[in-house]
Structure 1
Amino acid sequence: MTAKNILITGATSGIGHSLFKHYQQQGDNVIACGRNKEKLQEMAQQAKLIGQFDMTIPSEIEAFSKSVDSLDILVLNAGNCRYIDDAKQFDGELFADVIQTNLISLGWLLQYLLPKVRQGGQVVFVSSSATLMPFQRSEAYGASKSGVDYLANSLRLDLLKEKIDVTLIHPGFIKTPLTDKNDFPMPFLLNSEQAALNIAKAIDSRKEYAHFPKRLTMLLKFLSFMPNWIWRKLIIKG
């Protein structure tokens, strides 16, 4: 099997790091991107290339992209999660920061890295099952990830002529440094290695859409079809 050239954003921790290890052990050429310089330097011997940049700064992405050759798979995984704790005293700065990190940065990443994806290649968006239903305190995170969903599904149509597939991923709760900060129950929690295997299977199958764990995502899909007053009683706390 020919080794693939795979670029992963957010590769220094969580799902991204587990995906890096999966593909590296498989013998693929993995380009690891992130902000953590020390972690990237530790990964340098296993990676084809490392990219240390802030994805909210277009000039840093542009400079890094010049060192990237042809890609088979572009995995847009990096993101952040912050909550609106007081809706009445809405934090516009927090909202803008999350939208910038999770959504707007994808436009810059696509501008500079999508041209590197070869014909027959694949772009993967790691979104969230939080987009299946509205949740408390998730105005910023949910809005950003809903934008990711629309971006992926729309881009898929426009890349048909380029013969580039687009895969949208909806993970449930995954144990990562990001979710370690959560102060609420996380049902059907998976570890990052389990999440990476699910994502890798979806990529290998060139699926347009994948969601997991099914026990959570199918429940959310079912609840979303119920009358509002029913699911609100189930999810609203306090």
Structure 2
Amino acid sequence: MSNPIPLDDQVIWLTGASSGIGEALTDALAPRCRALFISARSEDKLKPLAARHDNVIIATADITDEESLYKVAKIIDEKYGHLDTVIANAGTCEYVDVTDFDAALFRRVLDTNVMGLVNTTAAALPLLRKSERGYLIGVGSSVSMLAMPRAQAYGASKAAVAHFLESMKADLTAMNIDVSLVSPGFVKTPLTDVNDFPMPMRISAEKAADAIIDGIEKRHWHIHFPKTFTRILWFIGQLPAFLRHRITASMSRTDEALKQRHAQESDS
């Protein structure tokens, strides 16, 4: 396989660019690449980002809408004739309350995180094949290393992301296309700002972007950070099931939720 294309020669497409890791990646990647197409549902949120960089092109799209992604791919093809790297960063997170189980929550999370990645890949793959050495990057989560309380929907979606990307890696090697899985720990973003539980070793979006770019330049299969945190999760995930389950059950807040629900029912 040929050597990776230097970042400064690359045409890159980044989804989920309007906030959090995506915004930080835009600011960190733009000065180092040839052209950067940034996507999100809201053009207004992308405009301030694009205004900061001469080589950033706004390409509004909703990853759950296949047609909007193919429109972006057409714009990239018409302007450059190929795509070197796609970073499928867009995603969502909702936590499950097993005392009030909601199947619709699962549909929302899986449609965005799993089918959104599939839709992005479908639109980008023909253009990646035109690159000298294409590169597909998907953002998963360290939660896929260990089944955690309340993460039934989010964790399942990110486990699917990891499996999808590893399978794609097996098939795309023959096409000279690299694949990477990004597994962040807790990162300070608008999504995590609303979390109501402890987030050990949480890092800034800027540090996350630096870690991702370092992995991108080396084309590592698995880009995970902060490494102390992800290694702890991995280690717990390798323990015998009865130990894993004891640890994760100790983190659960179901007892608290049940007590609150019983108190509300008693008051009504």
What band does the TM-score fall into relative to the shorter chain?
Answer: over 0.9
Q: CA deviation at 1:156?
A: 0.5
Cα distance between partner residues in 2 of 1:172 and 1:41: 28
Q: Is the 8 A contact 1:53 1:61 kept in 2?
A: yes
5+ residue gaps, structure 1, are: none
Q: How much is the aligned-residue C-alpha RMSD, in angstroms?
A: 1.5
Aligned twin of 2:123: 112
Q: Is the 8 A contact 2:30 2:56 kept in 1?
A: no
2:86 to 74, 93, 105: 74
SS of the residue corresponding to residue 59 of structure 2 reads: strand
Cα distance between partner residues in 1 of 2:83 and 2:67: 20
TM-score normalised per structure 1: 0.94
Cα distance between partner residues in 2 of 1:28 and 1:198: 20
Q: CA deviation at 1:211?
A: 1.2
**Structure 1 pair 27–109 and aligned structure 2 pair: CA distance change class (3 A):** closer
TM-score normalised per structure 2: 0.84
Q: Is the 8 A contact 1:171 1:195 kept in 2?
A: yes
Cα distance between partner residues in 1 of 2:49 and 2:186: 26
Q: Is the 8 A contact 1:119 1:162 kept in 2?
A: no
Between 116-125 and 227-236, report the one with greater CA deviation: 227-236
Aligned twin of 1:49: 57
Q: Is the 8 A contact 1:102 1:144 kept in 2?
A: yes
Cα distance between partner residues in 2 of 1:151 and 1:32: 23
**Which of the pair is proportionally richer in strand?**
1
Aligned twin of 1:218: 231
1:5 to 7, 11, 17: 11
SS of the residue corresponding to residue 75 of structure 2 reads: coil
Larger Rg over CA atoms: 2
Q: Is the 8 A contact 1:6 1:31 kept in 2?
A: yes
Deviation by residue 1:26-73 (Cα, 9 ceiling, x = unmatched): 243111111122121223342432111211111222222210121111
Q: CA deviation at 1:105?
A: 1.7
Deviation by residue 1:109-147 (Cα, 9 ceiling, x = unmatched): 111111111141211111000000101111110111011
Aligned twin of 2:215: 202
AA in 2 matched with 1:43: L
1:103 and 2:114 correspond:
yes
SS of the residue corresponding to residue 101 of structure 1 reads: helix
Identity %: 35
**Which of the pair is proportionally richer in helix?**
2
SS of the residue corresponding to residue 147 of structure 1 reads: helix
Cα distance between partner residues in 1 of 2:85 and 2:184: 19
Cα distance between partner residues in 2 of 1:73 and 1:62: 16
5+ residue gaps, structure 2, are: 1-5, 254-268
